[in-house]
Structure formats: C-alpha cells, structure tokens
Amino acid sequence: MANWCTRMVALLLLLMLSAAQASFAQDGKPKTRILFLLDASGSMLAKWEGSDRMEVAKNLLAHLVDSLDRHENVEVALRVYGHQFGRERNDCKDTKLEVAFGEDNAEAIKKKLVEIVPRGNTPITYSLQQAAGDFPEERSRNVLILITDGLESCGGDPCATSEALQKKRIFLRPFVIGIGIEPQHEKQLSCIGQYFNAADVETFETVLTEIVTQALSQTTVSVELLDDQNRPTETNVNMTFVNALTGEAEYNYVHYLDGKGKPDVLDVDALLPYHLQVNTVPPVLERNLNITPGKHNVVKVQAPQGELYLRQDGPSPYGQLNAIVRQAGSDETLNVQRFGNSQKYLTGKYDLEILTMPRMQLKGVTLEQGKTNTVTIPPPGQLAIPSQVQGFGGVYELVEGGGQRWLCNLPEDNSKVTLALQPGKYKLVYRMKSAQSSKFTFVQDFTIRSGATTTVKIFNR
C-alpha cells in the first residue's frame, strides 16, 4: 500500500507541475535548481511505521527526483550530512555534495541514496554553509529542501546562517521537513525556513508534494486599491513589491485597471517574502503579504485619494511658486507642490506652507475621496526701492498687536530692488553705509496691495 501511495503521489505531482513548468520555460524565466539536504545522522535509523526513517526518506526522494528529472527547466542535486563517520568521532564537518546539479541525474541520485548509511551527528549549520557553493553561479531560482529528524549538534547557528545566505540571494527561503521532532523543538528549525512537521509517512509524502508544487507552480497576484467605500477604484499608482528579508525591490509596477474596472494579473515568485509599498502621497505599506503559492492571490490596500490644486490669481512676480505640503500636525515635509499643478494625496487633512514672502500658512486643508480642493491665493504686490545707495537694512512684516517679524535683508552693494510681497503692512529699516551713527537709521512703514507697486525712497537721516 505504501509503494502504491508513493507512485500515485509522484504521478500526481508530475501532472500538476507539467503545465506550470512549461509556462515558466516559455516565459524565459530562470532555471529552478532544487538541492535536497538530507540528514543521515544515526538517529535516522529509528523505526517508523514498519520501516525506518532513512528508508522512507530514500524511497520518497527517489520517486520525487525521478519525476522532476522529466522537466527541462529543473535541475536537482543531493547533499548529505552525518553519513561518513560514526558518532564517536563527533565530526562536525561531516557533509558532502554527493550528486551535483546537472541534467538527467535522477539515476545518479537514486543510486547514491541506496548507498547511504546513517552513522554520525547533525552538522546543519556547516552543511548550509557548504551548500552555498553547490549552486552554479549563473542566474537561477535556487531552492533548498532540508530533511532532518534532529537539531543542530555542533554548536552552530543554522537560523542566522540561513538568513545570511538568503540575504546574499544564494537561495530562496528554504523548506524544512522535520521527522519526529518534538513540538518544543520546532522553533529551532522553523527559523531556518518554512517548516513542515512530518508526523507520519503519509504526511511526509504530502509535504514533499506540497513543497515542490510551491517551488514550481505559477503564482499570480492582483492588487486592489480601495477607496473610502472599499471599492477597488483607485489606479495609476506606482507600487513596489519589496523583499521583506533583504529590503530590495523585487517588482516595480504602475497599477492598472482594465475597461471593466478589474486590476491586471501579475506573476510573482511565491518563495520570496514580500511587503507591498503603494506609492501614493503619503505611501501606504502593507507588510508581510500572505501569498499562497500556485494560486491567484488578491491583495487589498486602503488607498482613498483626493486631489489638491494650487492656483494663484493673475501673473506671479515670484516666478515658479511652490508650497510645502505636510500631513496635519506633522513637521515632516511630505511633498513640494508647484502652483498651477494638481496632485493626488490620501484623503485627510494637510498643512500648507506657501513659499511667498512672507510665507503663508494654511492649516487643516481637507481632501476628500474623488474630489478636488482648489486653494487660491491673491497675487502679491511689489515693493520698489529706487534708491541706488550702499548700506545695511531689511524688511519687516507688521503683525497684529504692534509686533513685527523680520523677513529679509537688502543687498549691501545696492539698495535698488523690487520685491514681491503678499498684501499687508510692512516696515523698511535701513542705514546707509556712509552714515556714521545708528541714529541715522531710516525707518518707513508702508502698505502692499495685491497687484500694485508701492515705492519707498531711502533718505539719509
């Protein structure tokens, strides 16, 4: 019965993967290389449902590599540890690449599996380090499947080693199959990669099929950008699938909706962990996407947007006028928006600092879903100083309650200037360079009106 189940699992696996693998090859996707890292320590001789753990592992692996060998775009290899020396030697470098990657090497792997006899200890960390050199350097999807019935026995840190190798992109997130592992010890293996508990032979068969299906099947994702009524109406936004482990950008897309309002379907590698950054203003980050391998996944992101349009009446003597946009109550600059332009933002309240002279502060500007909020400011007036003298001084804004606020200094080499100023009351304070005392400081109040020019002449006092 067990042999019949094994044959059926292998046949089912072959049928499930043939179409997906053909699609991968046609799309020019990289070759998939699967390295089986097999535990052959002494404990693998333990009895397991009428046989022993090692014999079960050998039989299932033999059928599996036989079926995988029929795929043109897949290569497999076999590394074993704990099989060269007895436990009395306590050899923590007892690991060997028994069959290297290559085409049509299923027979070589099956032959080697027959020869392996469990003997020694469990140098998982060192084996992972050595496995890094087993994968050819050319571009491929590198997958590692660790099959073990024990924990690290040589004092290494397999979790840190696995993470470091993943960050270097030596291999994708590994798969770990634990045979007879006590529940309290599973955490020591689950940190290496995606962990599966093979509690019995039937589960072991199922897990092997599931893992290889995940490794080879096509996985797709659609992203729905939801408005404030949870409708997927937002689109045309840059978005990035970020590797949650390395922080690198794996895929960059500009979101698209078809004529029926449906987002398009995107291919992703399901063996990588992802965050999704939707580059609205401000951006939205969806952490740790739950992507099911071999299936179509829908990721929903709350991203309701409104639009801000900045407008100035009449021609602007400022030239290109900008506004600093911040989220309400925040000191962090979110965007610098030009007048005359529209920009989408997430719905909510924003503070604007308009780079006029003096700067204008608009607090709590509200943006609503699908609506445009137009902010209009009056055109400035101008201060004209026709005097051509050298000296020192500046312009102050007069504020309510009798106070004043410094705005700018005048050029020292020539006081003849024209300044654009927002409507309001001001004061000019100036001392000519030739004046020999502070008491000769010139002070003049003046008023600026929108669209008009105010002339102030400097006199020596």
pLDDT band at 358 (very low <50, low <70, confident <90, very high): very high
pLDDT at position 57 over 90: yes
Q: Half-sphere exposure of 210 toward its Cβ, with a 13 Å CA cutoff?
A: 15
Would you say residue 428 lies in a domain?
A: yes
Q: Can you give the pLDDT at residue 461?
A: 60
Q: Please provide the average confidence, as pLDDT, over all residues in the chain.
A: 90
CATH code of the domain covering residue 309: 2.60.40.10
pLDDT at position 17 over 70: no
Residue-wise pLDDT for 279-301, tens only, equals: 999 999 999 999 999 899 999 99
Q: Half-sphere exposure of 216 toward its Cβ, with a 13 Å CA cutoff?
A: 30
Number of domains in the chain: 4
Q: Alpha carbon 352 to chain centroid distance? A: 29
Q: Half-sphere exposure of 225 toward its Cβ, with a 13 Å CA cutoff?
A: 27
Q: Name the helix (H) or strand (E) containing 167.
A: helix 158-167
Which residue range(s) make up the domain with 90? 2-15+24-216
Residue-wise pLDDT for 330-357, tens only, equals: 999 999 999 999 999 999 999 999 999 9
pLDDT at position 108 over 60: yes
pLDDT at position 148 over 50: yes
pLDDT at position 210 over 60: yes
CATH code of the domain covering residue 439: 2.60.40
- Same domain, yes or no, for 425 and 291? no
Q: Can you give the pLDDT at residue 70?
A: 77
Per DSSP, helices labelled H in 28-133 are 53-68, 106-115, 124-131
- Same domain, yes or no, for 357 and 386? no
- Same domain, yes or no, for 390 and 421? yes
Average pLDDT over residues 245-267: 96
* Percent of the chain topping pLDDT 70: 93
Would you say residue 154 lies in a domain?
A: yes
Would you say residue 460 lies in a domain?
A: no
**48-52, 182-186, 312-316, 403-407: least confidently modelled range:** 312-316
Q: Can you give the pLDDT at residue 399?
A: 93
Residue-wise pLDDT for 70-103, tens only, equals: 777 899 999 999 999 988 888 999 999 999 998 8
**Any residues with CB less than 8 A from the CB of 57 and at least 6 apart, and which?**
38, 44, 147, 179, 204
